[in-house]
Amino acid sequence: MDVGNNVSFRLVNTSSANTAHCFHILNSMPFAVTYIDKDLRFTYLNAACEKFLGKQSEAIIGKTIYEVLGKKPLEQMTAQLDGTVLSFETELRLGKSNRVAELTFTPDFNEEKEVCGYSVIINEITANNNAKNDLSNNPEDALHESEYQYRQLIEKFPIAVYTCDAKGYIRLYNRAAVDLWGREPVAGKDMWCGSWKIYQNDISVYGVYTDEEDAWMSNFGDNPLEAFTQYNARLSARYITYLQKELVSLPDQIKELENKVNASSSNAKELKDLTKKLQTKKADLIRVKEESAIYTKEKYDELSPREKNIHEKAFCNNKKDPAFYELTTLKYNDEFTEREINIPKGDVLYQFREDVTTGNLPAVTWLVAPANFSDHPGAPWFGAWYVSEVIDILTQNPEIWKKTIFILTYDENDGYFDHVPPFVAPNPRDTTTGKTSAEIDTSVDYVTMEEERKKDIEQKYMRQSSIGLGYRVPLVVASPWSRGASSSSASAPGSPDARASPSSRRSRIPSTRWRSCVWAEC
């Protein structure tokens, strides 16, 4: 919905048809609704507002509050503006008559959390002295009535609508927003839409783990959002702690290596290896000193509410678990042989389990397993337990499970799963590599050496080859909505799981003509 290039309500997934519907609803409201921009100029009026002011929109749009309503309401408004909802009673001189009205200003915030305008509800107060005095003596009742009318307004919208305060916390929302998110938010506690989250025991950016601990307790580097700066992975408590520890330990490591280099024998290989390690440690110390001034708790505290919110959603971990960082020893009998293994002491699904149990699972979620639960060739033992446990958690809450589609997918096959070579695009400049129909251009599916040389990469990393397809990987879908077991061995894109999410189910995953011909539509 576009109201003078600004909106006072957060309207989600708005189509042109819905926009028209929204304007129809606004114009059918029995009370005056208008929108003013940050310069306090009118940009929209509904029909009731036009009737109240006695003028058509064309005569009002672009004018200021002072020009339309007079000096008094402008002074009352500007004296109290602080980024929160403002409601007051005022006298207005409209035409030849004096009118009494209650004005409610609800601030609208842009992405930088700056006020960019206000939605205004104007309630004319009856001339009856008793009613007037009643409202004057009970300003809280008047405010509650105004908020009730505001709630009624947004509830009538056929699309998801919600409002936030200056810090990004949800204040009001309608039923369509709840249906979109898949959960009921907590007003004043939940921020923004809360419709997605990525669960992992912990992230993979440098941190506090040994190699063994990392394999059991980090996300195996499989959360791609760690690579995107807007999610601020390096402002995590884990990375900040790592920097502080490295500042203390690296000088001692460097000193120890320097002593070994000086005491090294004539073994050229040993000296070369030690020198390389020393250079790496010195470079690490320079980096750590620079980054320790950049990535601090104070810098995290300076992030905007939105930046903190998407950081927490992207890197949701199990920090509430008291045994979050610990391993423990498990002893077991292997065909009459006593063995032992270190395993996580805590629950690697702690936060996911809690959110499912309490009914706070967002509409779209991802679970990223630690390396030892990933089913990679080096860790084939515990993936089955991880998947089974996730399904058990989901099915233990019938209200969650009845509206869930569980998708199990893999990012690579490691040579385990597929005996069938994938289709690959032929070189468009060499017909001996294969042919396609004349109208299919495979140049977008093939990289040549000429193209590689134009990039800023080393010669040893340059490759002339097709871009996929890759080997097939398993994908399993489980849901109470499925009609029973079925399977397909057809080649298909690795993105059908993305199409299941509410944000993308109306969009088509980008493809090329050649790919569309060789893989199955999902």
Structure tokens at 289: 């000193």
DSSP one-letter code for 316: B
C-beta neighbour count of 338 within 10 angstroms: 8
Please, where are the H alpha helices in 295-366? 297-301, 305-314, 350-357
DSSP one-letter code for 3: B
What is the distance between the alpha carbons of residues 203 and 222, in angstroms, rounded to a whole number? 9
CA distances from residue 163 to 11, 27, 159, 182, 310 in whole angstroms, order as listed? 9, 20, 13, 18, 18
Beta bridge partners of 90: 101
Reported as a pLDDT band with limits 50, 70 and 90, residue 203 is very high
Longest dimension (CA), the chain: 105
What is the distance between the alpha carbons of residues 477 and 409, in angstroms, rounded to a whole number? 9
Amino acid at 462: M
Helix or strand (DSSP H, E) at 307: helix 305-314
Between 50 and 472, the more confident residue is 50
Do 152 and 168 contact (CB within 8 A), yes or no?
Answer: no
CA–chain centroid gap for 274, Å, is: 44
Interval 187-193 mean pLDDT: 71
Residue 469, preceding bond cis, omega within 30 degrees?
yes
The predicted structure's pLDDT at residue 114: 83
Do 378 and 384 contact (CB within 8 A), yes or no?
Answer: no
- Closest-CA residue to 303 (of 184, 167, 474, 176): 167
Give the dihedral sign, CA 18/20/21/25.
positive
Between 521 and 486, the more confident residue is 486
SS3 (DSSP) at 168: coil
SS3 (DSSP) at 391: helix
DSSP one-letter code for 38: T
Q: What is the DSSP string of 416-432?
A: SS--SPPP-PPPTT-GG
DSSP one-letter code for 508: P
Reported as a pLDDT band with limits 50, 70 and 90, residue 183 is low
Give the right CATH number for 10-181 from 3.10.20.30, 3.30.450.20, 2.60.120.620, 2.60.40.1180: 3.30.450.20
Mean pLDDT of the chain: 82
- Closest-CA residue to 122 (of 51, 56, 32): 32
User: Taking 80 as the threshold, does the pLDDT of residue 343 lie above it?
Assistant: yes
Reported as a pLDDT band with limits 50, 70 and 90, residue 182 is low
For residue range 486-516, list pLDDT tens digits in order: 887 777 776 555 555 544 443 444 578 898 8
Structure tokens at 242: 């790592």
Considering only 29-33, 59-63, 433-437, which range has the smallest mean pLDDT?
29-33
SS3 (DSSP) at 34: strand
- Closest-CA residue to 379 (of 369, 391, 370, 371): 371
Burial of 117 (0-12, 13-18, 19+ CB in 10 A): buried
Do 522 and 475 contact (CB within 8 A), yes or no?
Answer: no
Q: In the 3-class helix/strand/coil scheme, how is 67-130 assigned residue by residue?
A: HHHCHHHHHHHHCCCCCCCEEEEEEEEECCEEEEEEEEEEEEECCCCCEEEEEEEEEECCCCHH
- Closest-CA residue to 8 (of 224, 189, 237, 163): 163
Amino acid at 485: A
Do 285 and 251 contact (CB within 8 A), yes or no?
Answer: yes
User: Taking 90 as the threshold, does the pLDDT of residue 253 lie above it?
Assistant: yes
Considering only 60-74, 115-129, 142-156, 273-287, which range has the smallest mean pLDDT?
142-156
CA distances from residue 263 to 266, 267, 273 in whole angstroms, order as listed? 10, 11, 14
SS3 (DSSP) at 366: strand
User: Taking 50 as the threshold, does the pLDDT of residue 297 lie above it?
Assistant: yes
Do 186 and 194 contact (CB within 8 A), yes or no?
Answer: no
Reported as a pLDDT band with limits 50, 70 and 90, residue 11 is very low
SS3 (DSSP) at 458: coil
CA distances from residue 452 to 427, 462, 470 in whole angstroms, order as listed? 15, 6, 20
Phi/psi at 22 (nearest 5 deg)?
-65, -45
Considering the chain, what percentage of its residues have pLDDT values greater than 70?
84
HSE (side-chain half, CA atoms, 13 Å) at 518: 18
Structure tokens at 171: 């204040």
For residue range 436-466, list pLDDT tens digits in order: 998 899 999 999 999 999 888 888 889 999 9
| Ramachandran bin of 165, using left for φ above 0, alpha for ψ from -120 to 50, beta for the remaining angles | beta
- CB contact set of 277 (below 8 Å; sequence gap of 6+): 257
DSSP one-letter code for 489: -
User: Taking 80 as the threshold, does the pLDDT of residue 180 lie above it?
Assistant: no
Structure tokens at 484: 């029973």
Q: In the 3-class helix/strand/coil scheme, how is 217-234 assigned residue by residue?
A: HCCCCCCHHHHCHHHCHH
